[in-house]
Amino acid sequence: MKLINEYKANPKKLILPVLVAALLVLLGLSPNFTKPYATIMLGTIMMYIILSLSWNMFSGATGYVSLATAAFFGVGVYVSAFFGSSLSLPLLMLMGGIFSFVIAFLVGAVTLRLRGVYFTIFTLGIVKLLEQLMLYLEITFNKTRGRFVVSYTFTEVFYWLFILMILVILLSVFIKRTRFGLALKCIAEGEDAAMHIGIGSTMVKILAFAISSFAMGAAGAAMATRWTYIDPYIAFSTNLSFLPVLMVIFGGGRHVFGPLIGAVVFAYIQELLITDFPYVYMLAFGVIMIVSIIFMPNGIVGVIENIVGRIKKAKGGRKNADP
Residue finishing a domain among 240, 265, 292: 240
pLDDT for res 28: 79
**Residue 109 covered by a domain:** yes
**68-87 tens-digit pLDDT:** 999 999 999 999 999 988 88
Same-domain pairing of 140 and 55: yes
Same-domain pairing of 66 and 195: yes
Same-domain pairing of 173 and 92: yes
Distance set, CA 16 to CA 145, 172, 174, 247, 301 (Å)? 48, 16, 16, 21, 13
**Residue 278 covered by a domain:** no
**Residue 148, H or E segment:** strand 147-148
Same-domain pairing of 119 and 71: yes
- Higher model confidence: residue 229 or residue 317? 229
In whole angstroms, what is the distance from residue 241 CA to residue 154 CA? 24
**246-258 tens-digit pLDDT:** 888 888 777 778 8
Half-sphere exposure of 3 (CA within 13 A, CB side): 7
Same-domain pairing of 2 and 106: no
- CA 188 to centroid of chain Cα atoms: 19
Residue finishing a domain among 240, 266, 284: 240
Predicted TM-score of the model (pTM):
0.88
Same-domain pairing of 20 and 129: no
Quick check: 104 and 113 in contact, CB under 8 A?
A: no
**Residue 186 covered by a domain:** yes
Q: Is the pLDDT of residue 133 over 80?
A: yes
Same-domain pairing of 51 and 190: yes
Task: Name the residue range of residue 22's domain.
Answer: 1-33
**Residue 225 covered by a domain:** yes
- Higher model confidence: residue 169 or residue 321? 169
Count the domains in the chain.
2
Q: What sign results for the dihedral spanned by CA atoms 115, 57, 284, 290?
A: negative
**Residue 207 covered by a domain:** yes
pLDDT for res 221: 95
- Mean pLDDT of the region 259-276: 82
Q: Is the pLDDT of residue 280 over 90?
A: no
Residue finishing a domain among 213, 240, 267: 240
What type of residue is 233?
Answer: Y
**Residue 309 covered by a domain:** no
**Residue 71 covered by a domain:** yes
DSSP code, position 57: I
